[in-house]
Amino acid sequence: SAVISQKPSRDICQRGTSLTIQCQVDSQVTMMFWYRQQPGQSLTLIATANQGSEATYESGFVIDKFPISRPNLTFSTLTVSNMSPEDSSIYLCSVVRGHTTSEQYFGPGTRLTVT
C-alpha cells in the first residue's frame, strides 16, 4: 500500500483568494492524480500530475485555475486559484505505484469551503 498525506485537511477561504494543497507519499510512485468531489457528487478527475513537466488536464479544467506541480516522485501540489463558492469541494490526491494498471490509492482529502 501507499501512505498518503494531504495538507491542509480542511480550510475556509474567502472568494478571490488562492489555496495550495500538498500531497506527500511515503515512497516513490508512478502516477499521481488530483480529483475533486463536489458536495453530493462523485469524484471527477482534474488532472494527472507529471513529474518534471506540465500536468495533463481533463476536459473542463485548465492550468490557470488549477496549477499543479510535481517536482519529484513523492510530492505534488494543487492550487485552486481565484476561488469562488463553486470551488467548495473535497480535493483528493491519488497515486499508483508500479505499473499503471496497479491499484490506485487515495489520500484523506482536503475539504475546502469558499465563502
Q: Which residues bind other proteins (CB under 8 A)?
A: 30-31, 33, 41-45, 48, 92, 94, 96, 100-101, 103-109
**Measured from the CB of residue 24, what is the shortest distance to other proteins in angstroms?**
14
Residue among 71 and 103 whose Cβ is closer to other proteins: 103
**Measured from the CB of residue 93, what is the shortest distance to other proteins in angstroms?**
10
**Measured from the CB of residue 88, what is the shortest distance to other proteins in angstroms?**
18
The neighbouring-strand residues paired with 69 are 77
Contacts of 28 (CB under 8 A, 6+ apart): 73, 74, 97
Residue among 59 and 115 whose Cβ is closer to other proteins: 59
The neighbouring-strand residues paired with 68 are 78
Residue among 13 and 45 whose Cβ is closer to other proteins: 45
Number of other CB atoms surrounding residue 95 within 10 Å: 26
Residue among 68 and 92 whose Cβ is closer to other proteins: 92
Number of other CB atoms surrounding residue 15 within 10 Å: 12
**Measured from the CB of residue 106, what is the shortest distance to other proteins in angstroms?**
4
97-to-1, 10, 25, 73, 89 alpha-carbon distances in Å: 8, 26, 10, 10, 26
